[in-house]
């Protein structure tokens, strides 16, 4: 069963606009959520995280929102830049170090 | 080193052969993890080390897979009698503490394993 779901395999956004990537989860025990960015032939790079005690965390152009009642989180990138084009993975953990990953969303930012 | 280092970066081998993948975590990181990513899939957890012990091996897909960590540093993942379905990118990650205390895991660039 897929505990972390990213239902949009791809997203295309114009440079300067907002990119919104979504993630849903099923396990109510998850208490820590992360977003990773991955370029081809490289490992995932940590982007931003949020603890379940918060509903928002912001770092520069990146903001993660957590809606625990809906078991939903999203990553907002604004303004989007061409260098943001990559695959974005949502991940979650439940009081252990094991991360459960979604299948990823490929973001393309075009000029 | 500055980041997680994995070797080899690519490995092509024949079905039935054994392979050994190596991970060198970030210096001082006590927790080490192995994941794999099959084509078109997300990352799948394999095993986690705290120091030299492995509290969670739940993700190892079969008894052909094993891993060890020595000296609280380098880890090797061994796959015996490889099968074609073992073809994937094998990723290693490390973090400073375990339990994670909400510390992100930092990944290497992976080993791309292809079984012919």
C-beta of residue A26 within 8 angstroms of C-beta of residue A3: yes
Q: CA B61, CA A18: separation in Å to the nearest integer?
A: 40
Q: What is the mean pLDDT of residues A70-88?
A: 97
Confidence label for B99 from pLDDT (cuts 50, 70 and 90): low
Interchain CB distance below 8 Å, B4 and A43: yes
Instruction: Report phi then psi at A26, rounded to 5.
Output: -115, -20
Give residue-wise pLDDT tens across range B24-66.
999 989 999 999 999 878 899 999 998 899 888 989 999 999 9
Q: What is the mean pLDDT of residues A17-22?
A: 98
Q: CA B4, CA B61: separation in Å to the nearest integer?
A: 24
Residue A42: closest C-alpha in chain B: B109
**Residues paired with B58 in a beta bridge:** none
pLDDT at B4 exceeding the cut of 90 = yes
Q: What is the mean pLDDT of residues A58-84?
A: 97
Residues in chain B within 8 Å Cβ distance of A59: none
Interchain CB distance below 8 Å, A97 and B31: yes
C-beta of residue B78 within 8 angstroms of C-beta of residue B17: no
Q: CA B66, CA B60: separation in Å to the nearest integer?
A: 8
Q: CA B8, CA B110: separation in Å to the nearest integer?
A: 8
Helix (H, G, I), strand (E, B) or coil at B72: coil
To the nearest whole Å, the CA of A110 is away from the closest chain B CA by 23
Q: What is the mean pLDDT of residues B13-24?
A: 97
C-beta of residue A84 within 8 angstroms of C-beta of residue A11: no
Of A4, A32, A43, the CB nearest to B107: A43
Q: CA B14, CA B115: separation in Å to the nearest integer?
A: 6
Interchain CB distance below 8 Å, B100 and A104: no
Give residue-wise pLDDT tens across range B68-92.
998 889 999 999 999 999 999 999 9
**How many CB atoms within 10 Å of residue A108?**
14
pLDDT at A66 exceeding the cut of 60 = yes
Q: How many CB pairs under 8 A join A and B?
A: 66
């Amino acid at each position: 069963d897929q505990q972390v779901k990213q239902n949009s395999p791809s997203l295309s956004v114009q440079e300067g606009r907002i990119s919104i990537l979504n993630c849903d989860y099923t396990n109510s025990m998850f208490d820590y959520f992360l977003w990773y960015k991955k370029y081809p032939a490289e490992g995932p790079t940590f982007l931003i995280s949020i603890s379940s005690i918060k509903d928002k965390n912001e770092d520069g152009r990146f903001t993660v929102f957590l809606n625990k009642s809906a078991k939903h989180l999203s990553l907002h990138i604004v303004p989007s830049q061409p260098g943001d084009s990559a695959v974005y993975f949502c991940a979650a953990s439940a009081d252990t170090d094991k991360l459960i990953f979604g299948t990823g969303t490929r973001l393309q930012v075009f000029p | 080193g500055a980041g997680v280092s994995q070797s080899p970066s690519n490995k092509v081998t024949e079905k039935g052969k054994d392979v050994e993948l190596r991970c060198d975590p970030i210096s001082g990181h006590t927790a080490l993890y192995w994941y794999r990513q099959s084509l078109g899939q997300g990352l799948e957890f394999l095993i986690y080390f705290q120091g030299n012990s492995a509290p969670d091996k739940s993700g190892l897909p079969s008894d052909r897979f094993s891993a060890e960590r020595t000296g609280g540093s380098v880890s090797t993942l061994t796959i015996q009698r490889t099968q074609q379905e073992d073809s994937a990118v094998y990723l290693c990650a490390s973090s400073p503490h375990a339990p994670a205390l909400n510390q992100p895991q930092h990944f290497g660039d992976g080993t791309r394993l292809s079984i012919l």
